[in-house]
Structure 1
Amino acid sequence: VILASHLGRPKGVTPKFSLKPLVPRLSELLGVEVVMANDCIGEEVEKLAAALPEGGVLLLENVRFYKEEEKNDPEFAKKLASVADLYVNDAFGTAHRAHASTEGVTKFLRPSVAGFLMQKELDYLVGAVANPKKPFAAIVGGSKVSSKIGVIESLLAKVDILILGGGMIFTFYKAQGKAVGKSLVEEDKLELATSLIETAKAKGVSLLLPTDVVVADKFAPDAESKTVSADAIPDGWMGLDVGPDSIKTFSEALDTTKTVIWNGPMGVFEFEKFAAGTD
């Protein structure tokens, strides 16, 4: 068995994000001596994998030590996959991310299957949507309205509260006549955004949009940032996360519910400055 995982958001090899401290506890839990690789790809990994006895376990070093992991680089994914015979994804919390270790490797390994924990989470999710305990809330994020139309329309028929975040909110803001600066907007989806707002109202769904946003002067991790009202996004600035007041409002709304499902990030969580809404 070869285990691959990530920890944190390292920029290159960062000792504090190494997976080596996991080895003693993993060995104890699994009842076998877990072998630790100093890398996640390369000749050493190939040799350790080839030498694994039946029932042996090899833990690879943090896959995010390579920038190619989050970029879903095909060559990196191919190297990761090269030491394995099949792929099992048991990380439900990262299943939405198209990274090399979660999506890229599936192009090189057959079969690629869900693990038992993944199946359990999916069963819970299906149950939550099909027969939720009320009040029922959904959080939908992501960059584009176009990629979430089906999700939003389906949820409007089921939920009591719908919270929207991510880049898609700026299309809704513009549809409401608000200035959005340089924020991402799908101009051809303005009427759809208006229609979804009206549908929510007609169905008695409480549709919550952020009241404040964290804006940046450029799309970069080192961008200058500030928090502004959703009504006061300056020209030349772009919204990259929901603001602290919105997080508080959303949290208070969710405290009144008994079922919550969440689909998509609230901001550009890949950049630390703009990850608070998602984290």
Structure 2
Amino acid sequence: MFRRSSPQLLRIRTKKALSWAVFKVIGDMDPIMDVDSDLILGWARMAVLTLCMAWAAWFDHKERKVSNEHWIVWTKPIVFIWTLDLLMQQPHWSVWLTASGLLAYASGSVIGRPTLRDVRAGNRLDQIVLVWYLLSVIGIIAAGFRFASTSPLDVLVGDASPEAALWWSYVGALFTILIIDLAWRLRFIHGGADAKALMWVTLLFPSWDSVPVSYTTAMEEAVLHLPPSLSLLIWGGFLFIVIPFVLFFRNIVSGSVKNFSDLTMAWMALCV
């Protein structure tokens, strides 16, 4: 004779079967997720870039400025994407603190640099930022000792470990932000929003490995190339050169140029 399964036993068996099915599906999806995770994060970066810059362009068009709050708000998705990326790669703690150092240095453009006077006066924000700086410096120094045997040349030729290559990409991004900041302070980059946007892009795309595009053969064979943010600055400069010609052509076509005075201004503004 066969005994009927009690409802409790049936529930236990059903729960075990469902658990096995879930783990089976997750196990089968692991190779797919390993392959697609970088691509997913890359396109997430592209989506964040598009939305942030479109919003900044709208602010610039309507108010002729982009507030610091805009860059603070849109840095949050970068921190989230970085966290996911680092959790998947599981690097040494010093790499985490090096990434934190990028954010700490770039934050000075929107919240200012901490001063010892304000720290001694009990300014809580300056105290927190100063501790943030110290932890980041400790992480960079510790990582420098950890990856002392790996040179930037090893990274360029592909002989470095993934962890070392990741750390050097953050160091390169840190130097890029330093260059942008110095160019802004020395007035080579006049607009504060332009400098902050370039720093923000550097945080979003520390290296070309985070850009989800198919490289050409020339790009793959190149040993040295500019960081994404500096490449964006150069191409933006080239496009800026085209603007006077576009304005002049539109003013001619619209019939706004009627005398020599209009002709001299037609390169610089759109006549209405």
- Flag whether TM exceeds 0.5 (same fold): no
TM (normalized to structure 2)? 0.23
Larger strand proportion, structure 1 or 2?
1
> RCO (CA 8 Å, sep 6+): is it higher in 1 or 2?
2
TM-score, normalised on structure 1? 0.22
Q: Compare CA radii of gyration and give the structure with the larger one.
A: 2
